[in-house]
Amino acid sequence: MAKITFITKEGETIELEGTSGSVMELAVEHNVKGIDGDCGGVCSCATCHVHVRSEDVSKTGSASEIETDMLELDDFANEYSRLSCQLQISDALDGVVLTIAN
């Protein structure tokens, strides 16, 4: 079980708990605004872009090359950017705070 906190563009804080699947799927299931997951999680659309809180980067790890290439051309990308479809939910993610980029 991992508790994951989303902060939307409007500043709303949403706390969700998940056990499996991706962070994008958890967010879409709960209609978190700004996480659309249009491509269903195959790294093709960048509609699940989040910024990981700096102290949580050790929990999420860093982006793969394909993910980085995708984010490189996103106007809201920064060093904390991840595509949440590529973050698999496990106990290791417990407590992470993600700010939605779009």
In the complex, the residues that contact other proteins under the rule CB under 8 A are 36, 38-45, 64, 66, 69-70, 73
Q: How many CA atoms lie within 13 A of 29 on its CB side?
A: 11
- Which of 40/95 has CB closer to other proteins? 40
- Which of 58/64 has CB closer to other proteins? 64
Residues whose CB is less than 8 angstroms from the CB of residue 46 and which lie 6 or more positions away in sequence, other chains included: 70, 71, 74, 83
- The nearest distance, CB 65 to other proteins, in angstroms, is 10
- The nearest distance, CB 29 to other proteins, in angstroms, is 13
**In contact, 88 and 96? CB cutoff 8 Å:** no
**74 vs 84: CA distance, rounded Å:** 14
**26 vs 4: CA distance, rounded Å:** 9
- The nearest distance, CB 97 to other proteins, in angstroms, is 26
- Which of 47/97 has CB closer to other proteins? 47
- Which of 12/38 has CB closer to other proteins? 38
